[in-house]
Amino acid sequence: MRFQIQSALEKRLNGVNQYDVKRVITKATWAEIRTAYASGIGLREIARNMDIPAGTVLARAKREGWSRQRENAKALAKREDTAKVVTPFEAASATMQQRGERHLGRMANIVEKTMPHVEAMEPDGHFR
């Protein structure tokens, strides 16, 4: 009886009772909720912070399989973090490339040092 009186009073004062209005949650809001959940925030905390009933958020997450998707993403990220195994061929190839780059650097240095001397030489037939 008391609830009915209070409800009637609220309707009279506010025009509409807050429980009689069905709130529509936009796609953008659901995207924000999903992103927050994917970043590690709990569903109940998200619902509390966004002033949405927890049951609504939990039901949507279960229906769309958010927890499974989050676990798959975590597993994929963990797999990418593991160290890559290098084959002996790849190691040898990398070593040879480093040696080649060092040799090329040394040759460029030698050419830089000798070019002024070669350019200063008289073209009197030393290059026959």
Q: Is the predicted pLDDT of residue 60 greater than 90, yes or no?
A: yes
Structure tokens at 86: 């290098």
Q: Is the predicted pLDDT of residue 11 greater than 90, yes or no?
A: no
At 128 the pLDDT is 52
State which amino acid sits at residue 15: G
Q: Is the predicted pLDDT of residue 115 greater than 80, yes or no?
A: yes
Q: Which residue has the tokens 């949405």?
A: 52
Rg (CA), the chain: 36
Cβ-based neighbours of 61, under 8 Å, separated by 6 or more:
37, 43, 67
At 92 the pLDDT is 87
Q: Is the predicted pLDDT of residue 2 greater than 70, yes or no?
A: no
Cβ-based neighbours of 37, under 8 Å, separated by 6 or more:
43, 46, 61, 66, 70
Output the pTM of the full model: 0.44
In contact, 18 and 53? CB cutoff 8 Å? no
pLDDT tens profile 117-127? 888 887 775 65
